[in-house]
Amino acid sequence: MRTRESERESVHTKESERERAHEGERVHEGERAHERERERARQSVHTKESERERAHKGERERERAHERERERERAHERERERESERERAHERERERTCARESKREHAHERERERA
């Protein structure tokens, strides 16, 4: 009878040990799952930060490109203004030349009339 009882206890002990080992595996697997989840979360944060940095860098580059374009437009506008001023200066010079010639012609006419 004792042997049967010893056998039952031995079987019960082995089953308990197996259950504890199984429980340990489940706990260990749960810890690994948590660690994998934490790593995924860290990677996700890192990826989002990288994406934000790239977006910010792209935005800064677009702003610099727009500023360069605005500066080109301002330079063109300044050149157009200088060209307009040159044309106005030429026009004033032509008017002065015409006025001098007209004055000379009137002087010649008066000279002829007196003669």
DSSP 8-state code for residue 95: H
Instruction: Report pLDDT digits (tens) over 57-93.
Output: 999 999 999 999 999 999 999 999 999 999 999 999 9
pLDDT band of 8, cuts 50, 70, 90: low
Instruction: Report pLDDT digits (tens) over 28-61.
Output: 788 888 899 999 988 888 898 999 998 999 999 9
Instruction: Report pLDDT digits (tens) over 17-27.
Output: 777 777 767 76
Name the pTM for this structure. Answer: 0.46
Measured CA to CA, the distance from residue 27 to residue 2 in angstroms comes to 36
Measured CA to CA, the distance from residue 76 to residue 102 in angstroms comes to 39
The residue extents of the domains of the chain are: 1-114
**Collapsing DSSP states into helix, strand and coil, what is residue 1?**
coil
Measured CA to CA, the distance from residue 54 to residue 60 in angstroms comes to 10
